[in-house]
Amino acid sequence: MRIKNVKIKGFRSINSTGVEFTVDSIAAFIGRNSAGKSNLLEALDYFFNNNSSLPPEDHYRKSTEEVIEITIDFQLDEETEYDAVIHANNEKLLRIRKTYYFGQKPETEVLGYWKYAGDDDFNPQGKYTATNIRRILAVEDVQLFLSENFPDQEVTTPAQYTAVIKQYWGKNIENMPKEWDDTPQIASKETLAALPAYYYLPVTYTVNDET
């Protein structure tokens, strides 16, 4: 998984209209001193590594009325976990938005998800209990599914069954009976844990006519 698109609003020198950019395999920000290049990188650092409220100077024109929004599209790869895949659109883009209101911890939302539209016995979003799992595991289609896809894995509890269903649909999302819903949701810990790491290491280098 990697960063694909970024949009930042209301952060330091960036107004509420915002700035957007796309990241390929390599990206470089070029501009004069104090143009705001570092602000872009520090906004990303806040997105990945800061879950606290931000001081007034981080809001546009130091106004506590200004709302900061940082939205990132992540391009998924083939080995992404179910909790990320289920929120990625047909282009395999996972969109997450972090919103900072002054004096509050940020709200982190995932913008869209696939609603399962198939048999309830194979629902990765289902609520399995000790009571209904006995019935489900006795169903012939479920037994066949487990024997074909997880022959060496013990599946006797709701947690074990949920895990194998999510594992299966994570690898076979294209074949999953589903409907796209773009309603924002609070991002789960599992979804956020699937995101790549981001490190911001500021380095200053002075360039003159001789270098």
pLDDT along the chain (211 residues), means of 10: 96 96 86 88 94 95 96 89 92 96 96 95 93 94 96 95 94 93 95 91 71 52
Which residues fall within 8 angstroms of residue 192, CB to CB, at 6 or more apart?
96, 108
Residue 207, pLDDT score: 67
pTM for the structure as a whole: 0.87
Residue 14, pLDDT score: 96
Residue 24, pLDDT score: 87
3-class secondary-structure state, position 161 = helix
Residue 144, pLDDT score: 96
Residue 42, pLDDT score: 94
Residue 210, pLDDT score: 61
